[in-house]
Amino acid sequence: MTMSAEQRPVVLIGGGGHAKVLLDIARLTHRTVAGVLTLEDDNTLPLATLGNDDRLRDRSFVAAHDFFVAIGQTQARRRIAETLAEHGATLATLIHPACVVAADVEIGGGTALVAGIIVNSGSKIGQHCTLNTACSVDHDCRLDDGVQIGPGARLCGGVICQEDAFIGAGAIVIEGRMIGASAVVGAGATVVSDIAPKTTVIGTPAREMILQTFG
């Protein structure tokens, strides 16, 4: 008999600080966590180490578990996400019970919503996103795959964050703005205009950070 998604244990990929938060969410939502696949980091969790990402080549292992990429570094997350897709792995979605999420919100596999988050109606959240403590996503926002939202950040209505965009802690993005792919919004910044892909902005209002060279 094939296990349902509710029955399959979760395997965390990565065993650092972010994984500790995800383990807590899994336990609060009554998901069994089988153990950890480690990468470069050590397993700091009170869980068995099941090997490294080479285990994803084991079809029976992949079929018996759901998986969650519990690492914060964007490039590593992307690499592991692609490996999971290649091997047909099922992605767990972890939502802390202390979140408020509108009934019509779409949330992709491998995404985590940490405690205290509000996501309002009409919003869509892609795969492998991380929404951190007490951030808010207002109505009709779109977060593409790999987006990370820092603690206490605020997205007003209709904001679009393209793939792998990063919104720092306490930042504010006003309504209708677009944050380009792999762009970085610094902590505490206030975004009042669209941000180009692969651009880092800081300050209020947010402006592109220009690195100065001396010589």
Active site residues: 139
Task: Extract the tokens encoding 142.
Answer: 């779109």
Q: With contact defined as beta carbons under 8 Å apart, do 158 and 175 qualify?
A: yes
Per the listing, tokens 């009170």 go with: 46
Q: What is the 3-state secondary structure (H, E, C) of 16-73?
A: CHHHHHHHHHHHHCCCCEEEEEECCCCCCCCCCEEEEHHHHHCHHHHHCCEEEECCCC
Residue 65: C-alpha distances to residues 7, 8, 52, 130 (Å): 9, 5, 15, 21
The distance between the two most distant Cα atoms of the chain, rounded to a whole number of Å, is 69
